[in-house]
Amino acid sequence: MRPTVIAPDVVPATFTYRNGRTEPVYLVPYPREGPVRLADAEGRAVLAFMYAHFVFQWLEGTRTVRISHGTLAGPRILLWRDVPIEGRWSPEVLAGFGRRWAEDQLAR
């Protein structure tokens, strides 16, 4: 039998059913891209970040984010416009917001 090789970012865990039965599982992180600084069609600066295939775009000088489904380089489907975001315009703020927002959506 060949040994099982697990990628370094995969975490072993245990899932417990309501009846108390347990089962080993492996937690794999959501895919992510960015954050990157881009320019929109009018040349304005935009920060973009993808987490769990939710794409967050934050136009410099605004307090809202556009959220799409897709990837940074590929096609996207617009899901929400004008989602409020707090904090200074920075890659770190956008990445933190995007990760929290996506995990909250996926937990529903």
Task: Give ∠ CA 94-101-107 in degrees, rounded to 5.
Answer: 155
Extract the tokens encoding 61: 């000088």
Say what percent of the chain tops pLDDT 90: 81
Q: pTM value?
A: 0.80
Residue 11 has pLDDT above 70, yes or no: yes
Beta partners for residue 59, in sequence order = 46
pLDDT (tens digit per residue) in 58-102: 999 999 999 999 999 989 999 999 999 999 999 999 999 999 999
Three-state SS at 107: helix
Residue 2 has pLDDT above 80, yes or no: no
**Mean pLDDT over residues 19-48, rounded?**
93
**Max intra-chain CA distance, the chain:** 59
